[in-house]
């Protein structure tokens, strides 16, 4: 099996169900900032169509955006989020550890392609896998690296270029249709594992859709993906 040569993991919703912690952190930031805003699960489900926390805030604020220091609210939100991560509130989704271990065993390179910040990614990886794992992901393509957020394919293009590979040599793993569109828009085959907030989304362009990465043992999953890729 020679494919894939690298796997690019999305973070929020894919490595872990992070969005409840982001939502909690947003609400704490609103309260701390003296705002009477509150995002319940129903509203947050709709707001997640807007990728990126600051973009989501701007969209929600609308005409009020000029009256509120949105970057400060977002920075406070991210500090709260990282505290939740460091406190151990966020766990890896089923099968993630097994797939990462199997990929490392086979010499498949690992990377990250996310709309969130590098600080948030590093906090999650260090807390969930252990600090040693920060070296396992040789490319971290994050919010700081590109202007456009998913479904813009820019973050995937950046990651593939940093790996020095062709897009056809890489597998992406995503939880949302925005992420799927970003990966496939960059010419990267994508495995979709819908997260709690993205269950209703479709996965038409995905190479494969699974409830989670534990649905198939890691070695068999990699073989299945390779076979599917050859049939494309």
Binding region for ligand XBP (CB under 6 A): 10-13, 19, 22, 51-53, 78, 114-117, 120, 143, 150, 176, 178-179
User: Of 12, 152, 175, 201, which residue is the catalytic one?
Assistant: 12
| 116 touches, from Mg ion, ligand XBP, none (C-beta below 5 to 8 Å by class) | ligand XBP
Parallel/antiparallel/unpaired status of strands 6-9 and 137-141: unpaired
Spatial distance between the Cα atoms of 39 and 55, rounded to a whole number of angstroms: 15
Tokens at 178, concatenated? 């925005």
Query: In the bound complex, which residue of the shown chain has the CB atom lying closest to ligand XBP?
Result: 53
Most distant CA pair in the chain: distance in Å? 56
| 53 touches, from ligand XBP, Mg ion, none (C-beta below 5 to 8 Å by class) | ligand XBP
| 117 touches, from ligand XBP, Mg ion, none (C-beta below 5 to 8 Å by class) | ligand XBP
Spatial distance between the Cα atoms of 20 and 116, rounded to a whole number of angstroms: 15
Closer Cβ to ligand XBP, 27 or 115, answer by number: 115
In degrees, rounded to 5, the angle at the alpha carbon of residue 91 between the alpha carbons of residues 152 and 197 is 45
> Any catalytic annotation for residue 212?
no
- C-alpha distances (whole Å) from 44 to each of 31, 196, 222, 226 are 17, 12, 33, 35
**Would you call 121 helix, strand, or coil by DSSP?**
helix
The stretch near Mg ion (CB under 5 A) out of 47-55, 90-98, 100-108, 175-183 is 175-183
Q: Residues touching Mg ion: how many (CB under 5 A)?
A: 6
Q: Does 175 bind Mg ion (CB under 5 A)?
A: yes
> Any catalytic annotation for residue 10?
yes
Residue with the two structure tokens 């990614």? 121
- Taking the complex as a whole, the smallest distance from the CB of residue 102 to Mg ion amounts, in Å, to 22
**Which residues are known to be catalytic?**
10, 12
């Amino acid at each position: 099996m020679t494919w894939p040569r690298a796997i690019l993991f999305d973070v929020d919703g894919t490595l872990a169900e992070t969005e409840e912690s982001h939502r909690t952190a947003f609400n704490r930031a609103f309260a701390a900032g003296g705002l009477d805003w509150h995002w319940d699960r129903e509203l947050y489900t709709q707001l997640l169509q807007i990728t990126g926390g600051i973009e989501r805030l701007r969209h929600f604020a609308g005409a009020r955006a000029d009256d509120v220091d949105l970057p400060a609210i977002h920075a406070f939100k991210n500090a709260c989020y990282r505290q939740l991560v460091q406190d151990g509130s966020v766990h890896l989704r089923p099968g993630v550890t097994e797939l990462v271990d199997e990929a490392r065993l086979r010499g498949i390179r690992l990377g990250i392609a996310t709309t969130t910040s590098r600080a948030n990614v590093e906090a999650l990886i260090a807390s969930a896998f252990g600090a040693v794992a920060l070296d396992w992901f040789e490319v971290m393509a994050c919010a700081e690296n590109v202007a456009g957020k998913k479904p813009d394919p820019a973050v995937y293009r950046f990651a593939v270029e940093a790996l020095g590979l062709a897009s056809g040599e890489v597998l992406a793993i995503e939880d949302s249709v925005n992420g799927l569109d970003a990966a496939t828009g960059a010419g990267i085959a994508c495995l979709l594992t819908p997260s709690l907030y993205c269950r209703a989304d479709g996965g038409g362009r995905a190479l494969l859709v699974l409830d989670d990465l534990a649905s198939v043992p890691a070695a068999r999953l990699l073989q299945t993906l390779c076979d599917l890729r050859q049939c494309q």
